[in-house]
Amino acid sequence: MSDTESEHLVAEPERPAGERPAVSVRGLRKAFGAKVAVQGLDLDVPHGCFFGLVGPNGAGKTTSLSMMTGLLRPDAGSAWVKGVDVWWDPVRAKASIGVLPEDLRLFERLTGSELLTFSGLLRGLPSDVVKERVPELLDVLGLTEAAKVMVVDYSHGMRKKIGLASALIHAPTVLFLDEPFEAVDPVSARSIRALLERHTDGGGTVVFSSHVMELVERLCDRVAVMHQGRLVIEGPTAAVRRGKTLEEAFVELVGERDASTKELRWLGTSSG
Amino acid sequence: MARHFLRLKLRLIGNGLRASWQRRLGLLFGALYGLSFAAVCFFVLALPRLVSKNGHSNRVGAALVALVFDAMFIGWLLIPLLGFGNDETLDPIRLALLPLTRRQLATGLFAASCVGVAPIAMLLGLSGAIVGFAPVGPGAVLVVAALAVQLSLCIVGSRFVTTALSGILRSRKGRDVLGFVGVLFGAVAGLGGQVIGHLGGHLRHPGHRLPAGSGALYWLPSGWAARAVARAGSGDIAAAVLNLVLAAAAVVLLAWLWVNRIEAALTTREAGGKKADNKSGDLFARPLAFLPRNRTGAMAAKEMRYHWREPRRRAGLMVLLGTPVAGLAVLLFGKVSDPAVVLLAAAGGLLIAQQMTTNQFGLDGAALWMNVASGGDPAVDLRGKNLATGVIGLGMVAAATVALAAGTGGWLYAPLALVLGATVLGIATAVGNVVSVLAPVPVPDSPTNLWQNNAGCLPVLVQMLGMAVTGLLLAPVGVAVAVSLATWRPALVPAVLASGAYGYLVWRQGLKVAARRIRGREPELLSIVGRRAEAT
């Protein structure tokens, strides 16, 4: 740990061991030059929860998830996964998490099955366990036929699926998924949903960001809405919706203006 | 329409320049490079008359101008392909949604490609032929016309090839193949330069016999334009006109093909490559079955597969194959008989390690997040990368050793050459590890753009310093071997073995220093190498 890190250490809130959340975040802050991407984020994600992180583009969701998973160092604040400080003891914290970043850059000159083997061994799994899990994951995610194709030749949806398989291979208890359903076809989305639900049913936790409000509304037990780097609201999905659809509640919360009928009156009038 | 395209091109150049100082620097260097290219072309084309009174009318002068014209033409056909995707005005598909006729598109794209450093440099360079060949009288008009035809030939030819191949160029496999073409082109260009030098030296000897196959210079339309210039220079007006008409007809034909191709390029797509090239799909499939099934082995296997599958690294590997070839060349051309020359094979290890280890994390790029997210010790990852370097490097050194030993009969020296090769690899890799963590450089995504990188001043300085340190660390090994060779050769055995132990210790230390530096700073390393390199 570097000196700069210790300056920003925040103690995890005291709780009885049984009540400790799967993910806890306190005072997380990150600025890129003059632009503050995340300003003092506090968040608790209970165990076994399907947790949705929503917000408009540029709200700070990806930056927050990157800081929670040890991929981007925060300027201030701390994040704990199962009580382990991600930045104080990254090796132990990372052992229990699986990550699917939004900008999914993989070692794409490996074939799908090679990439999964690589991920498994990178995670320190014994090679016989890796050998067992790779075909299973490929099968569940419908990638068996593409197992011997280089990832560089995968479609966007297939990349998401192989990325998810890489995130799952070491059986993590907490999954951080940034836009996991983006560009995924409905059939694959269904199998991914089933997979994630099985994960939470077994006591695992999923933290995921998405723009698809219907999906978040249907899947998530709890939702956090971020806007301009701040947490606007966080709580059980029903409480956040307040009797409306999540999309209506979201638009209301972030104060995005509706496209006015006064604007662009010429739209659709061209004869050419 | 041409005006809009010209403005678009100028705006794109202007915006690029405003975007970053790297681009401004890139344009400055591009302009300097273009100017120096123009100056060389001008000089070479002016040479026939400058060197010899009848240089412009002899066969050597004609061959010289044909070679330059052909090189320009081939360059114009190939180089824009390497930069495909970087210049929006080159790819017709980007304009597919605009309601433009074929004719408007063609004139617009042609106008856009007339703007830039390359066409201006070309024009300046070609004007050398006026000095070198233009006679007084109507022949001068023919020379100027032939130059205009050559310029049009290059531009229209390059438009046609880029448009015809745009579908393939957008596919991953097409771009991979192009990476190779780039390397090949570089090699051929070097050879062409040597031939130009050779011909230039014989301009005073009209009877000089041209190399076999020089007739091929006139197979391309650019050769006809060149012959028009040469014949006009020697006063053979009829032959000049004939060749000029032929070259101009080629321009018209290429333009016709291009215009017809634009529409097809806008509406067809190349099928994506979905073919596996590893039949077993196993990371450790042969020939990598010997690697350990752990994190180190996985890293090494990934690296070795990347060396073959990633076009930039594969091109590097091809260059490295030159190590054993160089070994053979030493034998064939050097007329060396001392069997101790086998030890020279070890020197290949330096080249290999420097190329493969100087920017190890930069080559991983944004995909490095997989390592960072998994936790674990970065020293293990480095060890895996070093294992891949060692296996490939030792393989190359072994091949060079065998080649040299077979030629000289110095098999006795072969084991020593291998140990010495491992020593050199170890030392250079140790320094490469440290340089990799001190000065990581993001590598651009485009596999066709093999030479572009975002190296600032500091990484370049660190890399140069690294080379100096490697030299210093290798000095004791060099001295021990040289002294043993000069005094008492049996002493080579302990000298080489001691060097091996020293090389191992240096490698261990380099790994330790690099790992200490990187441990806990993985996110910072990721943010540097994950930065998308800007296209210029």
Ramachandran class of B74: left when φ > 0, alpha when ψ lies in -120 to 50, beta otherwise: alpha
Alpha carbon of B279: minimum distance to chain A alpha carbons (Å): 7
Tell me how far CA of residue B136 lies from CA of B133, B139, B235, B290, B359, in angstroms: 10, 7, 10, 74, 58
Spatial strand order in the sheet of A222-227: A97-100, A174-178, A205-209, A50-54, A222-227, A230-236
Is the distance from CB of A179 to CB of A102 less than 8 angstroms? yes
For residue B374, which residues of chain A lie inside 8 Å, CB to CB? 94, 119, 122-123
DSSP code per residue over B170-213: HSHHHHHHHHHHHHHHHHHHHHHHHHHHHHHHTTT-TTPPPPTT
What does the alpha-carbon distance between residue A14 and residue A26 come to, in Å, rounded to a whole number? 12
B221 and chain A: CB distance < 8 Å anywhere?
no
* For chain A, counts of helices (H) and of strands (E): 10, 10
Q: What residues of chain A lie within 8 A of the CB of B526, using their CB?
A: 71
Q: State whether A106 and B370 contact (CB < 8 Å).
A: yes
Query: Closest chain B residue to A122 measured between Cα atoms?
Result: B295
Assign A149 to helix, strand or coil.
coil
Q: At CB < 8 Å, which residues of chain A contact B?
A: 1-2, 69-73, 90-95, 97, 99, 101, 103, 105-114, 117-119, 121-124, 127, 146-150, 152-153, 166
Contact B48, B203 (CB under 8 A): yes
A-chain residue closest to B298, CA distance: A118
Higher pLDDT, B526 or A264: B526
- Residues in A closer than 8 angstroms to B373, CB to CB, are 69-71, 94, 97, 99
Residue A249 predicted with pLDDT over 60: yes
Cβ-Cβ contacts under 8 Å between A and B: the total is 115
Q: What is the pLDDT of residues A86-141, one digit of tens each?
A: 899 888 999 999 999 887 889 988 999 999 999 999 999 999 999 999 999 999 88
Peptide bond into B287 cis (omega under 30): yes
In this predicted structure, what is the pLDDT of residue A258?
Answer: 56
Taking CB atoms and an 8 Å cutoff, what residues of chain B touch A70? Answer: 372-373, 375, 523
Interface test with A, best of B171, B283, B448, B531 (most A CBs within 10 A): B283
Under a CB-based contact definition with an 8 Å cutoff, are residues A151 and A108 in contact? yes
Cβ contacts of A71 on chain B, cutoff 8 Å: 369, 372-373, 523, 526
Residues of A in contact with B170 (CB under 8 A): none
Q: Do A114 and B278 touch (CB under 8 A)?
A: yes
| Cβ <8 Å between A122 and B298 | yes
Distance between CA atoms of residues A95 and A174, nearest Å? 10
The gap from C-alpha B367 to its chain's centroid, in whole angstroms, comes to 24
Q: What is the pLDDT of residue B415?
A: 92
Search chain A and give the residue with CA nearest B530. Answer: A105
| Cβ contact, residue pair B524, A73, below 8 Å | yes
Q: Report the pLDDT averaged over residues A207-229.
A: 88
pLDDT below 70 — which residues of chain B? 16, 19-23, 26, 51-58, 82-93, 170-214, 267-280, 315, 319-336, 444-459, 531-536
**Is residue A62 within 8 Å of residue A71, measured between CB atoms?**
no
Q: How much is the average pLDDT of A27-50?
A: 90
pLDDT at residue A4 is higher than 60: no
Q: How far is A19 from chain B (nearest CA, A)?
A: 26
| pLDDT reported for residue B89 | 59
Pairing state of beta strands A84-85 and A35-45?
unpaired
Looking at residue B53, its pLDDT comes to 63
pLDDT of A214: 84
Q: What is the mean pLDDT of residues A73-89?
A: 91
Token reading at B178: 């192009």
Q: Cβ distance B117 to B30 under 8 Å? A: yes
Whether residues B366 and A103 touch (CB distance < 8 A) is answered with yes
Q: Are B381 and B326 in contact (CB under 8 A)?
A: no
The pLDDT tens digits for B445-485 are 544 443 344 445 566 777 788 888 988 999 888 898 888 88
Q: Minimal Cα–Cα distance from B137 to chain A, Å? A: 56
User: B298 and A153 in contact by Cβ < 8 A?
Assistant: no
- Indicate the pLDDT class of residue A5, thresholds 50, 70 and 90: very low
Cβ separation of B373 and A70 shorter than 8 Å? yes
- Map tokens 């006729």 to a residue: B101
What ipTM was predicted for this assembly? Answer: 0.86
